[in-house]
Amino acid sequence: MTNLTPASREQKIQRGLKKRHRAERRFRIYGASAIIFGLMCVFLLFADIISKGHKAFLLTYINLEVVYDQDALGVDDPADAIQMSSGDFHGVVKAGLRNRFLDVNGRKNKRELYSIISNGAGYELRDSLKDKPTLLNKTIKVWLIADDDIDTYYKSLGDKTGPFKGRMTDNKEVWLQELMRSGDVETRFNFSFFSQGDSREPELAGIRGAAMGSFYTLVITIFLAFPLGVAAAVYLEEFAPRNRWTDLIEVNINNLAAVPSIIFGLLGLAVFINFFHVPRSVPLVGGLVLTLMTLPTIIISSRAAIKSVPPSIREAAIGVGASPMQVVLHHVLPLAMPGMLTGAIIGMARALGETAPLLMIGMVAFIVDIPNGFTDPATALPVQIFLWADSPERAFVEKTSAAIMVLLAFLVVMNTFAVVLRKRLERRWS
Amino acid sequence: MNRIETHASGPSGQLSEKPPGIEVDYPEETVGTPLVSNPKMSVRNVDVSYSGKQAIHNVTLDIGKHEVIAMIGPSGCGKSTFLRCLNRMNDTIEGCGVSGLITLDGEDIYAADMDPVALRAKVGIVFQKPNPFPKSIYDNVAYGPRLHGLASSRAEIDEIVEVSLTRAGLWNEVKDRLEQPGTGFSGGQQQRLCIARAIAISPDVILMDEPCSALDPIASAKIEELIAELSQNYTIAIVTHSMQQAARVSNRTAYFHLGRLVEVNDTEKIFTAPTHQLTEAYITGRIG
């Protein structure tokens, strides 16, 4: 102990205080800047995706006069399904284009002209004739989907760097200018993006097939992983004796949670497809694989939730004569449920965004049909993003970003649901 | 009935730690009157250990019918451990071993065919910290009767709830808010709710583990009044830190010291003329 006069002690404390206050301020600034950095990254991500993807929600249409000519179509009865399916509706579109641009001559030029309207336009005409048989032999003006080259060019006309030409030719530009002058080109909201499956033609490709595939996969996953995970967690936490075996199980669960997801894909391929002969590429097998992947996460979060139930509640229940099962069912599970559900939904969100294991079990295939059940071939949203990002057509760039937006929307909805659920189920105890 | 397990007992007669300034020999036998003529529960030669570490040494004690017996002693003397043996709450603690004989109405409660659930329906317990379920007051009290199937209709449960809350002295305070959560009340009210919950299943014996230690003096006084009233119908064993409380509420008092039952006597006698030196040292405040 040195001898300090009150004055010098006061001085020393004051000097130390200033230093401490500076350190406090610095400490807070570190935290705040970490948050600002994180928010900036999120903002950049969203800004980039939205700026690239928002145009995918619009689609370019061309107004064209077409004749539902009985002879050209080869259809005399619109109610006849066979006639309708073999009818040459694309020929009608081609005829409409020829009539619109009468000065186009030569096979090459004509083929170029035909390519400004999407291949899917013929099917649109067929559907409208099926709905309205009286259209037969009538001449009407219809809005038809433009080809993706036209679509990309038209939507990028206002860009600072000039329109994206890509595979546009001078001829096509001239024709498009002419159509625009007469007001026969417009963009509309792209409903088919949300109602169609995948397609090789970007203007026809939709997200619905992948979204339904993800939905069916996740249904399997949640209905298997949640009950299994909760049952395992309850047993380990409430009933299992503490010994070498349970320690071993615990270590293994923690290790499984850290196993790269593609390994689970290989496991699913070996066990479910090769051994149990579950059909490949279907949501059923995808759900099983994702169950294996999410199970450790759900067990760990459920155990944490069960641990956080105050022991006094258990004692109270035992004290009035509840059996161990009643203690769990009446008190521990209801109190742990918010935490367990939050863990489960976060696990589901991870499963929703998982691509690698699905690649191994064939859910990476090009599938046009929208799956209608658990055993229909399907892909999933993240796989669809991967597939589109891999496609050469320029129009798939915006489709990719739009699909990412849909996936993110799914995730935001799921996480919001988790937060709301937790808030509603949470009960206070003293 | 004659199941007495032998147990590797610790060094008998040796106190690992003697209270400072007091030179006494540890008693081989409990002094005073541990046995009574009309026991509700009987405890014979009970040892308790946690993972091999002995917490209770060779306790023999009777708890008489409709008496209030208080257990006092310094912290860590094993009085709570002993209380929790009486309805097998210690079963849930891993590594806890109980040997010796404990009977309720002459029946061995540690017998293989004794279901702890049925035992706890007869021997209720109130804990140190009020621990109502995070449910409504009504559900808190109705939980036990529903569990044991004591009532078959809603009207019967209503009656049990009302009677229990009335006996716990809480009915007038809560009768208009039975649907409110039990956790939203004051500490004293919560503790009386826990008592109501314990008596709703009409136990024979109520164990109370320092029921007032988390409460203020006014709330404590209410609980003490309640204990006095309940003692007309129930047998009560209460662990308490407060010697005044023991003196006010109990008929007999048991003094525990380092896992041994040192002295049992009528409360009046123990607080005016304790037989054992350790008891005297404790009640005069020299140890504790």
Chain A: give the shortest CA distance to residue B108, in Å.
18
Tell me the two tokens of residue B125. Answer: 């317990």
Whether the CB of B201 is below 8 Å from some CB of chain A: the reply is yes
**Contact B127/A319, CB-based, under 8 Å?**
yes
Whether the CB of B282 is below 8 Å from some CB of chain A: the reply is no
Contact indicator for A201, A392 with CB cutoff of 8 Å: no
DSSP letter, residue B229? H
Q: What is the pLDDT of residue A105?
A: 87
Nearest residue on chain B to A241, judged by CA atoms?
B94
**Residue B21 region by backbone torsions, left for phi larger than 0, else alpha for psi between -120 and 50, else beta:** left
Nearest residue on chain A to B125, judged by CA atoms?
A319
Whether the CB of B87 is below 8 Å from some CB of chain A: the reply is yes
- Strand A139-145's sheet: what is its strand order? A139-145, A58-67, A185-189
Return the residue matching tokens 């009302």: B162
Q: What is the pLDDT of residue B108?
A: 93
Inter-axis angle of helices A283-307 and A261-268, nearest 10: 130
Q: What is the pLDDT of residue B25?
A: 54
Angle at B126 between CA B132 and CA B216, to 5 degrees: 80
Whether the predicted pLDDT of B228 surpasses 60: yes
Q: What is the pLDDT of residue B23?
A: 52
- Chain A residue numbers with beta carbons less than 8 Å from the beta carbon of B120 are 318-321
Q: What is the pLDDT of residue A78?
A: 82
Q: What is the pLDDT of residue B95?
A: 84
Whether the CB of A319 is below 8 Å from some CB of chain B: the reply is yes
A48 backbone dihedrals φ, ψ, rounded to 5°: -65, -50
What pairing do the DSSP bridges indicate for beta strands A58-67 and A185-189? antiparallel
**Contact A322/B131, CB-based, under 8 Å?**
no
The beta-carbon neighbor of A242 closest among B89, B94, B120 is B94
**Contact B134/A330, CB-based, under 8 Å?**
no
**Contact A321/B127, CB-based, under 8 Å?**
no
- pLDDT tens-digit map of B96-112: 889 999 999 999 999 98
Q: What is the pLDDT of residue B143?
A: 94
- Chain B residue numbers with beta carbons less than 8 Å from the beta carbon of A428 are 134, 181, 183
One-letter amino acid at A290 equals L
- Chain A residue numbers with beta carbons less than 8 Å from the beta carbon of B133 are 313, 316-317, 331
- pLDDT tens-digit map of B57-91: 889 999 999 999 999 998 888 899 999 999 999 88
- Chain A residue numbers with beta carbons less than 8 Å from the beta carbon of B183 are 428-430
Whether the predicted pLDDT of B4 surpasses 60: no
Whether the CB of B18 is below 8 Å from some CB of chain A: the reply is no
**Contact B118/A319, CB-based, under 8 Å?**
no
Per DSSP (E only), the strands in A167-217 are: 185-189
Q: How far apart are CA B75 and CA B61, in angstroms?
A: 20
Helix (H) or strand (E) holding B58: strand B53-64
Q: Which CATH superfamily is domain A208-425 in?
A: MetI-like (1.10.3720.10)
Q: How far apart are CA B118 and CA B27, in angstroms?
A: 36
Nearest residue on chain B to A323, judged by CA atoms?
B117
**Contact A312/B129, CB-based, under 8 Å?**
yes
Report ipTM (2 d.p.).
0.84
Angle at A113 between CA A107 and CA A119, to 5 degrees: 110
Q: What is the pLDDT of residue A7?
A: 86
Whether the CB of B148 is below 8 Å from some CB of chain A: the reply is yes
Whether the CB of A323 is below 8 Å from some CB of chain B: the reply is yes
- Chain B residue numbers with beta carbons less than 8 Å from the beta carbon of A321 are 117-118, 120-121, 144, 147-148, 201
Inter-axis angle of helices B154-167 and B217-230, nearest 10: 120
Tell me the two tokens of residue A289. Answer: 């694989």
Nearest residue on chain B to A311, judged by CA atoms?
B131
Long-range CB contacts (within 8 A, 24+) of A79-86: A79/A133, A84/A126, A84/A129, A84/A130
Long-range CB contacts (within 8 A, 24+) of A136-141: A136/A68, A136/A70, A136/A75, A136/A76, A136/A78, A137/A67, A137/A68, A137/A69, A137/A70, A138/A67, A138/A68, A139/A65, A139/A66, A139/A67, A139/A68, A140/A65, A140/A66, A140/A68, A141/A63, A141/A64, A141/A65, A141/A66
Whether the CB of A309 is below 8 Å from some CB of chain B: the reply is no
Q: Which of residues 94-113 of B touch A (CB under 8 A)?
A: 94
Whether the CB of B180 is below 8 Å from some CB of chain A: the reply is no
- Chain B residue numbers with beta carbons less than 8 Å from the beta carbon of A427 are 134, 181
Angle at B276 between CA B272 and CA B277, to 5 degrees: 95
Contact indicator for B159, B128 with CB cutoff of 8 Å: no
Q: Give the residue ranges of chain A where pLDDT is below 70.
A: 1-2, 427-430
Radius of gyration of chain B (CA): 19
Q: What is the pLDDT of residue A420?
A: 87
- Chain A residue numbers with beta carbons less than 8 Å from the beta carbon of B89 are 315, 318-319
What pairing do the DSSP bridges indicate for beta strands B39-50 and B96-104? antiparallel
B94 confidence band (pLDDT: 50, 70, 90): confident
Q: What is the pLDDT of residue A331?
A: 93
Tell me the two tokens of residue A13. Answer: 């404390």
Chain B: give the shortest CA distance to residue A310, in Å.
10
- pLDDT tens-digit map of B235-254: 999 999 888 999 999 999 99
Contact indicator for A286, A358 with CB cutoff of 8 Å: yes
B6 confidence band (pLDDT: 50, 70, 90): very low
User: Which residues does B217 contact at the CB level (< 8 Å), separation at least 6?
Assistant: none
Quick one: which of B259, B231, B241, B214 has its CA closest to B85?
B259
- Chain A residue numbers with beta carbons less than 8 Å from the beta carbon of B125 are 319
Nearest residue on chain A to B91, judged by CA atoms?
A318
**Contact B181/A430, CB-based, under 8 Å?**
no
Whether the CB of B26 is below 8 Å from some CB of chain A: the reply is no
- CATH says B31-133+203-283 is which class? alpha beta
What ranges do the domains of chain B cover?
31-133+203-283
pTM over 0.80: yes
Whether the CB of A243 is below 8 Å from some CB of chain B: the reply is no
Q: What is the pLDDT of residue B28?
A: 63
Q: How far apart are CA A109 and CA A104, in angstroms?
A: 7
DSSP 3-state percent helix, strand, coil across chain B (nearest 5): 35, 25, 40
